[in-house]
Structure 1
């Protein structure tokens, strides 16, 4: 269906849904945008008949009748009680899915045309209940890379982009990915696909992908492998790993209160002449805990294990190294 015809059908539904009286074909022709392009009466009636057939095939309850005995010809309207959905009871997981969809469809892509159609109907004297008759599908995503990534998924094309690993200060790497989908997990968007450079499935947080996102290759080449569960892949990569031991960390006195809530204070401890406390923390993953600690700078020091100390040091060095220069990580405890 062409975009012009689709818009005309939407305008026709808005018109017939927003009036309680039967509207004749000539009346509809004068107030519904799209019919004015018909060169003559015969062309209009052919167009209108096709549109009525299309609406009925789509399940729209199109009524035919006359408002009063004085009307000479039949008119048309859509009975709202037959068109509107009945009361819907949703399970908790279904309600969560609807809420997510409501947050996604939230940018004025089609709001302008829909509102303009209602204004034209009202100006033509058609009774309009704007709150009930509004058609306003909209989509929003704050991350600039979201739209081009979604377009690549729909087109089945591979993409290249710059991706920052590990958050602010992390290494920026060029990636070439065959995108399988864009999914939301705990308020963040993730691209899931096959990373050609690592020859393995991977997920990437969309907020860490820099523009431009460049599609490469012909469309229709990328397909999602059978049996792939995109949400499971993201959840496996994002959720904390099972606890695999503990770490001992020094925290300066009066500092890093968030870390103190995550750990268990073992007692007072001095480090480099500074007073503080020794904490024991669950080591849910070296990289995860290292990111928690690195943001506190000199107010923390890793006592054990050495692998965690190296990971924190690497994050500090990456944050302090100018872009494009190699990062040299020294050894020794932070």
Structure 2
């Protein structure tokens, strides 16, 4: 019996479908879509693919995404293709008052760098392989923004998106620094740390590297599209094999119901206090990273323990308040 698809797999499939339909300048046939979106390629037969695709179309439309079915060529109306109407998809101009801008200013500390480089890049590579004319600007707004203080992040993310090799100096735990040459596949955040997974050309094997251990600049080497990314690579498994599991410091957080969903999803346990609040128990490796995330939710997430985490959150809130007060002082 086939494994039941997880919610995460369904979300990634829908995201890749949206990326594919935004990336093209002309409507895509069902055959092209089936080749571009990985779960569709794994459908056992045409009937299974049709059922999956029809369900996904309905779901996108229910979400308000303007999915259109129209002729590929106006002279041959019997061949239907699919696209997303970019004019209807784009958000209108947004306007914020002073209080809203203050909240957004605090939130922007936690949402500044692009993520999802792996899924987005994979969908785009498949469309390029099908010789689909790209419209890259249309997919820029899809990628959520996540804060990272890692200096290497931007260069690594760009390398993943363009399939360019990179070289950098790396200091592995308990070892001396050494030059590494890598064909990066994905950039991933796991338990508060950022990693790049890829093929280490010096060791002729897949490897994973923690960005915080990269010393100095990351240099892009060679031309874009210089290598292929294997469909079956497993970044999580690479990290598990490479990193020794630390002693996680538990944190207990009080989370307002319906808020702080990224924290709730990672929680080991979730308890209900009352109609307004939940109590969650969450693992973390870096108190600074978790403090930044807690601050981004404002009054919707409160730290019960440990004291170290609560102190870091309070320090960030005081700093934000003092900075805002200084800016408004006469």
TM-score per shorter chain, which class? Answer: 0.3 to 0.5
TM-score by length of 1: 0.47
Higher relative contact order (CA 8 A, sep 6+): 2
